[in-house]
Chain A
């Protein structure tokens, strides 16, 4: 049996010639930080923060458990700030035409009217567009680029920024903290329910470039918000870097859902830190779909700070040729009576590698916590690889922790059954794979579920049985 690409043809691999409004010389330099601060007219505390973060990045090593990456990325051969736009617009018509064209090709703008409460579009380092439906704005919902958030709501911003992920947290958080640009700033006031998702699309167009978006989401008491992000990049022969930091604060009894459909080209190293702080009786749900990139290192996490919180990670990884999906989840319990669930599904094919890496940590003060972890992996051929690296560290006798994982191929029995019903082998495999990922796909908004099914499109034509 030989399958074609696991991921359908990569339609987003084009690149456009865009105007250059800002571009700095390559390399890790303090001058770049100064240039960015000047252009962005940032307060002194941010300038100091960025410089300190760059020093931390240069000092910090990579953790021992994270293989590869040591010599793979030449940090001096990357451009840290490139922008084809001068500022983030609130009307689509005001966005420069070339950029609108790029987004039209990606089919982004059309979606807005249909299903979204707000839309943001980032190209390279800066947000080109950020807009929210009037009805939500009237309720006090804030949806801005992170840079604008800092300027327009300095107190709210400063109170939360880098409080859950300080630059000391890890090497890539330090890198992001030094060069962050773009991303979203979201605030949902007390009791407000954002029924329609807020969506942001991240596009890399430049070559040998580093995108460092920074997102800060604050969901106040009893509020609800669903944030959706997508991304893509052109296919070059050189590598790019995407290193985001996403901080979420889910206040008392609030709920937040964060959905990612990561579809980078196989030139992109995707090294992302995502963390949610959960207060009393709050709920955080990460729906994390990783379908692209050369190497993804991402473990969305929930820190249970208030009693009775619930954290959930649904992770779907598909590692095709040339990809290593190093995805997973972290659940850290600081408070009693919290629950969490991690459900991870991965598919490896055509020499791809997928790894689940997870941490469940129950601290001293956390009593009566329950965690359930399920990891299932499917390996489609013998060139591919699958790993499971869970860590569970439990203090005390009042937690209940369960972990289960399995790795298998497409079962002969299931194939035989479907084929005996007159279904062709290629279709049968496709059905089995779709059935395997179904529990995660059904959690996605409809349009994204359709997109996933398109992306994980098994093309088995002309295969040899």
Chain B
């Protein structure tokens, strides 16, 4: 156990509805007693063809390779209680380390299977792409732990490119707290797609830190909420350097009594001229019991730049439904077609066909019924 992080976890208060970030969330089902004793060892399943020189394996077995970057992004400074919990208790996870100029052509896939009811799991993932490297990584989280707090640290060094798809489909009892942060160096590119499908509550903090000129980040996400599911998406596009680009689109489909809170920040530091940042959050609401909050935030301290954002909350368009039905589609078919069309821009970002199909299957099972 990391004692400093554990102390910080114990010091930080449990969020209440008074906290702006949590005001519509219900944490009564979250049981944290004896959490340190309930932690289960993390096992990962890996697949994909690994070229020589590339490290792709369990984090615990590659401590030396991880040493230079591990804990450089997720530090004791984190301000969330659940990130501190993760930092205190994690013991294993996965590592992908791609050396200089190596291009991994086939996608690499890691599955974290976390099966036990009542247990807790704290996987850590480290991704390092050395200058000029390229890779595609797929991360899948499934199972039914009571509490899941995970962290992923991503370093995309000069001129490297990472395509990264991450999805979770936990049982409806799981409380999932996830932090993912990518550091994007000069001329590097990260291209993310995130799928949030399961859990009683899933709170994702997804951040990109633009550290070098010419860096680009694409962040795309889909969240589906049914029954009393609670979704939290907290994104941050942090432009520390100028001449950087970030693009973000998060789309949610909410039905039944689902609750969602999107809070996204574009932060442009001083002397970051030439920043181009875009942020968009679109919510499709299918029931009158849904609570949907969105807070797109801009904090800008440079002036030679362009930052734009947009957010919408709406239902299926009556005119579009009417048109489709006039062409012979049933109401159900018409609704299906419109929901699929709404999510299509996210699915189109996934470059691996089998993963795209899996997203599509989950969307059908959850919201297109």
Contacts and interface: CB of A to CB of B under 8 A. Distances in A.
B339 to A, nearest CB: 13
A384 interface: yes
B313 A387 contact: no
8 contacts: A377-B300, A380-B303, A384-B303, A386-B300, A392-B313, A406-B308, A407-B306, A409-B303
Nearest to B263: A391
Interface string A354-385: 00000000000001000000000101111011
B297 A387 contact: yes
A395 B292 CA distance: 6
A388 B294 CA distance: 13
Given A388-B296, A392-B295, A397-B287, A403 B303 contact: no
Interface string B257-292: 000000000000011010000000001011111111
B25 to A, nearest CB: 13
A339 B107 CA distance: 49
B314 interface: yes
Interface residues of B, number: 37
A321 to B, nearest CB: 15
B314 A401 contact: yes
B242 to A, nearest CB: 10
Nearest to B314: A400
Q: Which 5 A-B pairs have the closest CB atoms?
A: A388-B298, A379-B303, A396-B288, A397-B285, A406-B308
A382 B300 contact: no
A377 B305 CA distance: 12
Interface string B15-51: 0000010001000000000000000000000000000
A230 interface: no
Given A382-B273, A399-B314, A402-B312, A393 B293 contact: yes
B293 A382 contact: no
A1 to B, nearest CB: 10
A45 interface: no
B293 A409 contact: no
A395 B257 CA distance: 10
Interface string A53-68: 0000000000011000
A394 B289 CA distance: 10
Given A65-B20, A396-B285, A405-B309, A387 B314 contact: no
Nearest to A380: B303
Contacts of A96: none
Given A395-B290, A396-B290, A403 B312 contact: yes
B118 interface: no
B299 interface: yes
B307 interface: yes
Contacts of A400: 312-315
Interface in A258-313: none
Contacts of A391: 293, 295
A308 B295 CA distance: 26
A408 B288 CA distance: 37
B308 A392 contact: no
B311 A403 contact: yes
B327 to A, nearest CB: 24
B106 interface: no
Contacts of A402: 310-312, 314
B290 A387 contact: no
A397 B286 contact: yes
Contact of A389 (B291, B295, B308): B295
B285 A403 contact: no
A398 interface: yes
Contact of B308 (A380, A397, A405): A405
A403 B312 CA distance: 6
Interface string B129-173: 000000000000000000000000000000000000000000000
Contacts of A407: 298, 300, 305-308
Interface string A75-86: 000000000000
A408 B296 contact: no
A409 B308 contact: no
A394 B56 CA distance: 44
A407 B296 CA distance: 13
Interface in A390-442: 390-409
A390 B273 contact: no
Contacts of B289: 396
A148 B19 CA distance: 43
A382 B272 CA distance: 9
User: Chain A interface residue count: which class?
Assistant: 20 to 34
B298 A387 contact: yes
Contacts of B285: 394, 396-397
Interface in B301-326: 301-315
A381 B302 CA distance: 7
A292 to B, nearest CB: 22
A402 B303 CA distance: 26
A211 to B, nearest CB: 31
A415 to B, nearest CB: 12
A64 B20 CA distance: 9
B217 to A, nearest CB: 18
Given A65-B20, A382-B273, 8 more contacts: A380-B303, A384-B301, A385-B301, A388-B309, A393-B24, A394-B290, A401-B314, A407-B298
A387 B295 CA distance: 13
A397 B314 CA distance: 7
B254 to A, nearest CB: 8
Given A65-B20, A392-B313, A403-B311, A409 B299 contact: no
Contact of B300 (A385, A396, A398, A399): A385
B165 to A, nearest CB: 28
Contacts of B315: 397-398, 400
A360 to B, nearest CB: 9
Given A64-B20, A388-B297, A382 B291 contact: no
A64 B21 CA distance: 12
A408 B305 contact: yes
A395 B291 contact: yes
Given A64-B20, A382-B303, A405-B309, A398 B288 contact: yes
Interface string A318-337: 00000000000000000000
Contacts of B311: 390, 392, 401-403
A403 to B, nearest CB: 4
A381 B304 CA distance: 8
Given A387-B300, A389-B295, A403 B314 contact: no
A161 B312 CA distance: 36
Contacts of B287: 396-397
Contact of A390 (B20, B288, B296, B313): B296
Nearest to B291: A395
A9 B67 CA distance: 60
Contacts of A404: 308-310
A402 B312 CA distance: 4
